[in-house]
Structure 1
Amino acid sequence: MTQADFYQIDYRLHGEPKRFTIRATLMNNVEAWQWASCDAGLVPIPKPGRPPLKRFSKPMAERFGVTDVKWRESVTVVWEEDHT
């Protein structure tokens, strides 16, 4: 089984700040720009196990108003139940 982590992606769409969390096995700047473009509605979200229909590069996304894409690994949530 592959390891999937949670990532938080922040970006601006026509100057308005946006943020979302995504679960992915791989994250880098290229992937972050692609997922920000999906979240902005510029490209369809790919079906699991299939490549995206169209990759959006940073220059292409910027032409449609996506800017300042930043990503980071999300904090791991540890659930502890105390039934005392």
Structure 2
Amino acid sequence: MSATYFVEYLLHGKPKSFVIRLNEMNNAEAWQWASCDAGLTPIPKPGRPPLKRFSKPLAERYGVSGVKWRESSAVIWDDD
């Protein structure tokens, strides 16, 4: 089951953020998706692996830093 994640990072010192829905998130995935959001690597087509994985050192070489991620809070709708 997929979850929604909030990812924050710096691109050349400027704060950036995005929301993504994935089955699983970890630090390596967060760095990869931050690199996609920054325009360093293309967003993969669904069901296909990315053309090139961006590791933390590679992303840092192109100006991405401080990648942090967290699962977003679940919204609970109360029927009153």
TM-score category by the smaller chain?
A: over 0.9
Instruction: Point out where structure 1 has 5 or more consecutive residues left out of the alignment.
Output: none
* TM-score, normalised via structure 2 length: 0.94
In the TM superposition, 1:1-84 aligns within 5 A as 3-80=1-78
- 1:29 CA drift (Å): 0.2
User: Which string of whole-angstrom CA distances, capped at 9 and with x for unpartnered residues, describes residues 32-80 of structure 1?
Assistant: 0000000000000001111011100000000000000000001112344
Identity %: 69
Aligned residues: 80
- Cα deviation per residue 1:9-36 (whole Å; 9 max; x = unaligned)? 0000000001111000010000000000
Which structure has the bigger radius of gyration?
Answer: 1
SS of equivalent residue, structure 2 residue 36: helix
> Which consecutive residues of structure 2, in runs of 5 or more, have no partner in the other structure?
none
Matches of 2:2 and 2:68 in 1, distance apart? Answer: 19
Question: TM-score normalized by structure 1?
Answer: 0.90
| Cα RMSD for the two superposed structures | 1.0
Cα offset, 1:7, TM superposition: 0.3
